[in-house]
A and B are shown apart, each in its own frame.
Chain A
Amino acid sequence: DAGVIQSPRHEVTEMGQEVTLRCKPISGHDYLFWYRQTMMRGLELLIYFNNNVPIDDSGMPEDRFSAKMPNASFSTLKIQPSEPRDSAVYFCASSLAPYEQYFGPGTRLTVT
């Protein structure tokens, strides 16, 4: 299995621009999670889906953040407009068994 796939691996954008991060979960997994990692706050859960339906988005920091999962094999995390404080590594993870989450390599986002 290819594991969780994220793209792009690195993204540099200017403040105010729209950013879209992409994730392909492991085939057959029915849970998908988005996390953000920063030095100050560590790893934080942003949102997660079960069978393509958002279950808990209480970790999404602001309305500038949105996530979708149009089908079982694809999810996006969008930031519009982006701000420098959004700079972080964004991880996608998927799972089948409860809690045994498998993480992707992450997308390093830099907003200048």
Chain B
Amino acid sequence: AQSVTQPDIHITVSEGASLELRCNYSYGATPYLFWYVQSPGQGLQLLLKYFSGDTLVQGIKGFEAEFKRSQSSFNLRKPSVHWSDAAEYFCAVGAPRSGGGADGLTFGKGTHLIIQP
């Protein structure tokens, strides 16, 4: 079974500074990888996804993530954060099915991002 680790429970960043949120996964092959964002009282919004191909993926809101197979990592980055980026960020992994199709995702525990003015 797959698992996801987000080692940072909280991260505080100054507005305008760069951001990197860490995500490590455990899976026997290359999984499908996702980053979701959750604002207080809201559902989860998909930021970006990696299925295959280029290991640097671009997402919405200026976010990007890089898949590193050797490190089993999929870290999320943003060059300059805005106060509106304050939220909970979840990394998720999905196991590809041989016959195609979807499966349930395994989520990390999340990283709470705080933006300082």
Q: Which residues of B in the span 3-26 have a Cβ within 8 Å of any Cβ on A? A: none
Question: Which of A11-19, A41-49, A69-77, A78-86 lies at the interface?
Answer: A41-49
List the A side residues contacting B90 at CB < 8 Å.
43
B102 lies within 8 A of A105 (CB):
no
Tell me, in angstroms, the Cα distance from A77 to B110 when the chains sit together: 25
Tell me, in angstroms, the Cα distance from A31 to B104 when the chains sit together: 10
Q: What is the number of contacts between chain A and chain B, taking CB atoms within 8 Å?
A: 61
Q: Which residue from B42, B100, B102 sits with its C-beta under 8 Å from A101?
A: B102
B106 lies within 8 A of A99 (CB):
no
B104 lies within 8 A of A42 (CB):
no
Q: Which residue from B36, B100, B104 sits with its C-beta under 8 Å from A59?
A: B104
Q: Which residue from A45, A97, A100, A101 sits with its C-beta under 8 Å from B106?
A: A45
Q: Is A61 an interface residue (CB 8 A)?
A: no
Tell me, in angstroms, the Cα distance from A91 to B105 when the chains sit together: 13
A99 lies within 8 A of B100 (CB):
no
Tell me, in angstroms, the Cα distance from A98 to B31 when the chains sit together: 12
Q: Nearest Cβ in chain B — how far from A77, in angstroms?
A: 14
* Size bin of chain B's contact surface: 20 to 34
Tell me, in angstroms, the Cα distance from A51 to B62 when the chains sit together: 35
Tell me, in angstroms, the Cα distance from A24 to B83 when the chains sit together: 33
Q: Is B107 an interface residue (CB 8 A)?
A: yes
> Interface SS of chain A: helix, strand, loop or mixed?
strand
Q: Which residue from A43, A99, A100, A102 sits with its C-beta under 8 Å from B103?
A: A99
Q: A35-B104, A99-B105 are in contact. List 20 more A-B contacts (CB 8 A).
A: A31-B101, A31-B102, A42-B107, A42-B109, A43-B90, A43-B110, A45-B105, A50-B101, A56-B104, A91-B43, A91-B44, A97-B102, A98-B94, A98-B101, A99-B32, A99-B51, A99-B94, A100-B46, A103-B36, A106-B43
Q: Which A residues are closer than 8 A to B by beta carbons? A: 4, 31, 33, 35, 42-43, 45, 48, 50, 56, 59, 91, 93, 95, 97-106
- Can you show 17 pairs from A to B with CB atoms below 8 A apart? A42-B107, A42-B109, A42-B110, A45-B106, A56-B104, A98-B94, A98-B100, A99-B32, A99-B94, A100-B46, A100-B49, A101-B102, A101-B105, A102-B46, A103-B43, A104-B43, A106-B42
